[in-house]
Amino acid sequence: MHLNAQAIVLAIRPHGESGAIVRALTAEAGMLAGYVRGGRSRQLRPVLQPGNVILGDWRARTEEQLPALTVELIHSRAPMFREPLPAAAFEWATALTAAVLPEGQAYPQVHSALGGMLDAVEAAPAARGWAVALVRYELLVLAALGFGLDLDRCAATGTNDDLAFVSPKSGTAVSRSGAVGYEAKLLPLPRFVLAGGAAAWDDILDGLRLTAHFLERDLLHGRTAEVLAARTRLIDRLKRAVA
């Protein structure tokens, strides 16, 4: 096995005295793990930061062997980790991706969307510039892994008029008229999810609550608490930022 490709660093786990097992997302081959000798050294720690773009070289003698990985920094997003809110966004987006994507399967749309979302955080650290992109990224991850929401028409009336809610059970949209009497049992569907464009903070937080329900139910059920803790930190910081 030999692959040389650009990749987004997703997760770093210590291994041995100074090495690290690194998971990174490539456009060509999906998420790949590799052992980086000296990965926790002073020289490589700034390179192996979640969100950084690297040129990775994976080599293994057999498909079953954990590849040896050498890395070269292409683009560093490390300065963003000095800011609590961008740091939390990077931490969550990369942790989610590392936790749910199967290794060795290409998801070029996910790779492109993750890069775009991280670019948005970097370009405009204030959350208004990237929070909508984060909701869209979470929706894309759900869809890519077979748990996409059905937002084309109302589950109750069959029409696509005035869609305002989502069923927490089926993930299907519900119109305002079809939801009468059941509003409290449904999840709000922010307009920007359907129509695009900017959004008010209340709508953004509704969007994050919507994606949280399906991420936790369908993709993160039984996963490590650390992954969900990263999202909790992000939401707490977002709420403080808009308070």
Positive or negative CA dihedral for 60, 104, 72, 85?
negative
For 225, the 3-state DSSP assignment is helix
* Alpha carbons 17 and 200: distance in angstroms, whole number: 48
Question: Does residue 99 lie in a domain region?
Answer: yes
Q: What pLDDT score was predicted for residue 223? A: 66
Q: How far apart, in Å, are the Cα atoms of 54 and each of 20, 49, 58, 118, 186?
A: 15, 10, 12, 14, 42
Which domain, by its residues, includes 20? Answer: 1-76
Give the whole-angstrom CA distance, residue 117 versus residue 190: 19
Per-residue pLDDT, 124:
84
27 Cβ contact partners less than 8 Å away, ≥ 6 residues apart: 5, 6, 106, 108, 111, 112
- Is 11 a member of any domain? yes
Residue 128: CATH number of its domain: 1.20.1440
Shared domain check, 58 and 28: yes
Among the listed residues 234, 224, 186, the one whose alpha carbon sits nearest the alpha carbon of residue 98: 224
C-alpha dihedral, 104 to 106 to 109 to 114, nearest 10°: 20
Q: Is residue 202 part of a domain?
A: yes
| Whether residue 15 is found in the same domain as residue 135 | no
> What does each of the 243 residues of the chain score in pLDDT, given as a tens digit?
899 999 999 999 999 888 999 999 999 999 999 999 988 888 999 999 999 999 999 999 887 789 999 999 999 998 989 989 999 999 999 999 999 999 999 999 999 999 999 999 999 878 877 999 999 999 999 999 999 999 999 998 988 899 999 999 999 999 999 999 999 999 999 999 998 888 899 999 999 999 999 999 999 987 677 788 899 999 999 988 877
Same domain, 141 and 228: yes
Do 64 and 133 lie in a common domain?
Answer: no
Polymer length of the chain: 243
Question: What's the domain count of the chain?
Answer: 2
Residues 97 and 2 in one domain: no
Say whether both 45 and 57 belong to one domain: yes
7, part of any domain: yes
Answer yes or no: do 115 and 211 share one domain. yes
- Contact status, residue 21 vs residue 13, Cβ threshold 8 Å: yes
Note whether 105 and 6 are same-domain residues: no
Last residue of a domain, one of 35, 56, 76: 76
Whether residue 71 is contained in a domain is answered as: yes
Residue 164 lies in a domain: no
Q: Are residues 137 and 27 in the same domain?
A: no
